Amino acid sequence: MIARLTGTVHKLIEPQLIVDVSGVGYLISCPSDLWMDLEEGADVTISIATYVREDRLDLFGFRHFADRELFFALLQSSGIGPKTALHILGVPKADLIQAALSQEAKLLSGVRGLGPKLASKVIVELKSLLERGLLVAEVGDVVSGVPDQEAVEALTALGFDIRTILAHLRGVPKKLKTTEERVRHVLKEVSSRKEWGREETTRAIEP
């Protein structure tokens, strides 16, 4: 079983990448936040989850070994396949923890592959993983109060992904008290940055 790969990013094909290791190209699927940090030609070390079934062998890559373990833990829940687990892990840890603490399934409504029933099930699973110490915040994350859920619903209906919604709602000034004011503020921020769920950033990839 492959647990880690170190090589050069040969090709990026969202949500996958090809990592060249001594002349062998490995096709790896990874969460969106990791994929957006990668650059073709860059050296990278990625923790790998090898997913084997009778008719398939897939590789899933993660920034940290802990994310690999969280991926396998999510797969233990009925109804969650590897692609859905990957989409869940594309949500910042602080946001997953907020969803687990609030037990509010609507906070995951923008995650691809999650309908209302499955989202409710995932929320329960996330709380269990939090209690078991498998779901932990990243360094520098701040887990604050639960965001305005009406604003989350409104922005989801407008086509925004949950990662972008929660990131912007955390930055809404406290003086904005109503849902309408918060939604308006987020729309203005997104418009000014010309982003729809993706920010062009360059951050170091950790083993």
Q: What is the pLDDT of residues 186-204, one digit of tens each?
A: 888 877 765 444 443 333 3
* pLDDT tier for residue 49 given thresholds of 50, 70 and 90: very high
Task: For 65-143, give the CATH class.
Answer: mainly alpha
Q: Which fold has domain 1-63?
A: OB fold (Dihydrolipoamide Acetyltransferase, E2P) (2.40.50)
Q: Where are the domains of the chain?
A: 1-63, 65-143, 149-193
Higher pLDDT, 109 or 184: 184
With a cut of 90, say whether residue 176 has pLDDT above it: no
pLDDT, average across residues 102-127? 86
The two most distant CA atoms of the chain are separated, in Å, by 57
Q: What is the pLDDT of residue 189?
A: 82
How confident is the model at residue 157, as a pLDDT?
A: 79
Distance, in Å, from the CA atom of 13 to the CA atom of 24, rounded to the nearest integer, reads 17
Q: Is the dihedral of CA 74, 76, 80, 84 positive or negative?
A: positive
